[in-house]
Amino acid sequence: MARKYFGTDGIRGKVGESSINPHFVTKLGWAAGKVLAGRGTNKVLIGKDTRISGYMLESAMEAGLSAAGINIGLLGPMPTPAIAYLTKTFRSEAGIVISASHNPYYDNGIKFFSADGMKLDDDIEIAIEAMMEQDMVCVASDKLGKASRIDDAAGRYIEFCKGNFPSELSLTGLKIVVDCAHGATYHIAPNVLRELGADVVEIGTKPDGLNINDKVGATSMKAVTELVLSEKADLGFALDGDGDRIMLVDHKGNVLDGDQIVYIIARDALKSGRLKGGVVGTVMSNLGLEMGLSKLGIQFERSKVGDRYVMELLQAKGWSIGGESSGHVINLNATSTGDGIVAGLQVLTAMLHAEMSLYELSQGMEKYPQTLINVRFNAGSSPEHHPAVIEAVNNAESDMGETGRVLLRKSGTEPLIRVMVESRDAATSDKWAQHIADEVKKATV
């Protein structure tokens, strides 16, 4: 069934418009509360990132849930994966995240976790949307939900993260730059690494409600890269605003994306006998990841873009490790969702196991040059099916053989065809991407 409000990652938008305003969020809290109450729920956790609108939306969500008779545990600013973990720890029936992840401060969003720390089932989201169409009716005063603040949430999550690092290892002697994007990990990530022995240099740990993801974090790697080099650090962590994504920087200033991180984690799991099945990426995952895993004898499958789809394919295959090049990394042996801090700790574990620097460890995977061109087309048309476009794609694939790949993908939010070509040779990628994009433009006339 088509969704009116929920996308692949909850509900997101600009604050004050459409669905991200107090009126809508109160109604959403009530609708979610009514649906969850009908399934036996009586307690829900709410966490948020550091953007200023979080206070307003948290209050609205709390009011709606209370009106539906649901008790609320308030976590305050916490990373998205922490909310998933704490939902399970507190035996809550659901967890709610108020965050727009890597977006600017003027955006915000709502997403839900189930009792097992996974995304809500489709049927529950559909039921919530249906309930949104009903008139909001408050329960009797003696049935209203109560709210309480959970003061030790950060400490519990810090211990969970540390528990995902082998007790026989230590980070003593490693200097690590940590960029928290002025987001939800600002009071978590530096403490985790310090308590494991690292010498930590912080950046992006002074949120003011307006500076989340502003020239810092996983979507803006310049600041952390410069600091790694100036501090002569061993490596750098760059997390996004809600902490479910991570990018890394080695001591030479090279940026490692999610594909390279997944490769390192999977290879270490294989060597230590902990790898369960293969690895899941997306249609946008670099061909170098697929080739590198193949050399190790590790199976690789691609899902649609979105960590939700990576998770679905992992569960369908019975595998554990997957991710996206954007830095979402999932390891179901440790977590129930993408977790930037835990993924970073798993890379550090691999470094210590191999007794290698991050630079040396990353050399096993050759990252293929990737060219992406967006072509606007007339809404309602399908230029990707035009004979000339198909011929151009076939010619490119024939020319590159197994050393290249072509992907044509329609944007889900605007009339754009994304033309992506990757090859071992950058000039080849550029040449074929431009040729195919030109044919798509002609087909749109």
Q: Tell me the β-bridge partners of 60.
A: none
Three-state DSSP at 55 gives helix
Cβ neighbours of residue 232 closer than 8 Å, sequence gap 6 or more: 175, 251
Lookup result for tokens 């040729």: 435
The upper half-sphere exposure of residue 321, i.e. CA atoms within 13 Å in the direction of its Cβ, equals 26
Q: How many residues does the chain have?
A: 445
CA distance 283 to 149: 41
Residues noted as catalytic: 101
Distance (Å, rounded) from C-alpha 59 to C-alpha 48? Answer: 11
Query: Distance between CA 96 and CA 80 in Å, rounded?
Result: 9
The sheet carrying 235-239 orders its strands as 199-203, 175-179, 235-239, 246-250, 255-256
**Positions of E strands within 257-395:** 279-282, 300-303, 321-323, 329-331, 370-376
- The DSSP secondary-structure symbol of 336 reads S
Measured distance CA(99)–CA(144) in Å, rounded? 26
* Token duo for residue 394: 């076939």
Radius of gyration of the chain (CA): 23
With tokens 């960029």, the residue in question is 179
Q: Count other Cβ atoms within 10 Å, centred on residue 440.
A: 25
CA distance 192 to 194: 6
